[in-house]
Amino acid sequence: MADLSALSSFLVAAVGLGVPLALAALGEMVTERTGVINIGLEGSVIWGALGGALGALAAGPYAGLACGVSTGALAALCFALFAVRLGTDQIITGTAVTIGSLGFTGAVFQSRFGATGIALELPTVAALELPLLSEIPILGPALFNQAAPAYIAYLLAPLLAWLLFRTRWGLAVRAVGESPDAAHAAGVPVIRTRLLATVFGGALAGLAGAHLSLVHTGTFAENMSAGKGFIAIAVVVLGRWSPWGVVAAALFFGAAEALQFALQAWDSELPYPLFLALPYLLSLAALVGWFGRARAPGGLGSPWPTARR
């Protein structure tokens, strides 16, 4: 029975850690489906974490979540105005947005709370236990005793699957990503679609960031996103740009991270920095092992309309 409860708490941790990745990656998946790769996602995550913290301090944890969504969306909007509207290079623009977000969130944080180094304590979003469902042995508590963002992720996956593959909207989105010229010829507003999809991705990344500060840690620290946004981009590749694949890949990473915590708890003598590196190494390994079988959207990364040189 001790083993079972250990397994159960491992699963709870795995899902809890997988949720922010799943949220950010589902958003980025939609963004990439329109042909935009947003490396600035990391920036949206850190802005979401800070926005979540400030919102929660001002008006409670749920307001914090909403605030995190908006700040994440704003960071993505900034990226999109340059990379989509103006047509600057997506990779460099995204990197700049990430660097700037890490800098400016640090600046805002320091001017609000000072550079004291005392950990900030935030009101956290409590877990919501779903009646009946949470009583399923082992899986129940892991899946259905989580904070609200987890349920958003559960609902989002089937919703996005339906939207992308069964509706006119989804066909238009995919057309923009595969071949913007063809989409334009078919009357799909390419720029607007890409802008909205990028902002949507940023909003979800912001929610993921708020999850980090308000569910996961209950505090905010500079650079606390620690590459979560980048891992989310790898998760999109591993999930082969499909909603269910993305969720599965995100949970896999959540499990890897939970495993690292479990191992640390088990033997504190283990060199924990090496375990911290584990999710990143796993991302790399999975990219190599998996990539050959997946196909990225045809127009991914290229600005539109195509610039004449």
Partner 1 sequence: MSPGEIHGLIGENGAGKTTLARILGGLAAPDSGKVRIGGRAVELSGARQARALGVAMVHQHFSLVPSFTGLENIALLDPGAWNRRGAAARGYRERVEARARELRLAVELDQPVGGLGVGARQRIEVLKALMPDPRVLLLDEPTAVLAPQEVDGLLAVLRRVADAGGAVVLVAHKLDEVLAVATRVTVLRRGRRVLTTEVASTSAPQLAEAMVGSKVAGPATSSRWRGAPLEATPVARLAGVHARRDGRQALRGVALEVRRGEIVGIAGVDGNGQRTLAAVLAGVQRPDEGEAELPPEVGWIPQDRTEEGLVGGFTITENVALALHGRSALRSGPWLDWRGVGEAALGVMREMEVQAEGAEMAAGALSGGNQQRVVVGREFLRSGSFLVAESPTRGLDVKAAAAVRARIRELAAGGDEAPGIVLISTDLDEVLELADRTLVLVRGRLVEMAPGDRTHRAIGRAMLGADRAGGDDW
Partner 2 sequence: MRRSPEIVRGLLVAVVGLAVTAVVAAALLALGGHSPGATFAALIAGAFGSWDRFVSFTLVRATPLLFTGLAVALAFRAHVWNIGAEGQLYAGALAGVAVALLLPTSAPLLLLPITLVAAAAAGALWAAGPAAMRTRFGVGEVITTLLLNFVALFLAQFLVQGPLQEPRRIFNQTDSIPEAAHLPALLPGTRLHVGFALAVAVALALWLYLARTPGGLRLRTVGASPRAARVSGRFRATPVVWAAFLTSGAIAGLAGWVQIAGVTHRMYEGLSPGWGYTAIAVALLARLNPLAVVVTAIVFGALSAGGGAMQRDAGVPEAWVRGIEALVILAVLATDRCWQLLAARGEGG
Residues in contact with partner 1 by the rule CB under 8 A: 166-169, 171-172, 174-175, 178-179, 181-189, 295, 298, 309
Check binding of 96 to partner 2 (CB under 8 A): yes
Structure tokens at 30: 């939609």
Q: What character string, x for contact with partner 2 (CB under 8 A) and - otherwise, covers 204-243?
A: ------------------x---xx--xx-xx--x------
Residues 97-136, interacting with partner 2 (CB under 8 A):
97, 99-111, 115
What is the nearest approach in angstroms of partner 2 to the Cβ of residue 288? 5
Nearer to partner 2 by Cβ, of 133 and 277: the residue is: 277
What's the rounded Cα separation, in Å, for the pair 270 and 256?
Answer: 16
Question: From CA 63, how far away is CA 117, in angstroms rounded?
Answer: 25
Q: Does 259 bind partner 2 (CB under 8 A)?
A: no
* Residue 186: alpha-carbon gap to chain centroid: 31
Cis peptide before 131 (omega within 30 of 0): no
Instruction: Name the β-bridge partners of 146.
Output: 128
Which x/- pattern over 57-86 shows residues binding partner 2 (rule: CB under 8 A)?
Answer: -------------------------x---x
Cβ at position 302, least distance to partner 1 in Å: 14
- Three-state DSSP at 91 gives helix
Closest to 237 measured CA to CA, from 170, 179, 176, 287: 287
The pair of three-digit structure tokens given for residue 154, joined into one six-digit string: 């559960």
Q: Cα(38)–Cα(156) distance, rounded to whole angstroms? A: 20
> The tokens of 239 are what?
């999930």
Residues of this chain that bind partner 2 (CB under 8 A): 37, 39, 82, 86-89, 91-93, 95-97, 99-111, 115, 222, 226-227, 230-231, 233-234, 237, 271, 273-274, 276-277, 280-281, 283-284, 287-288, 291-292, 307-308
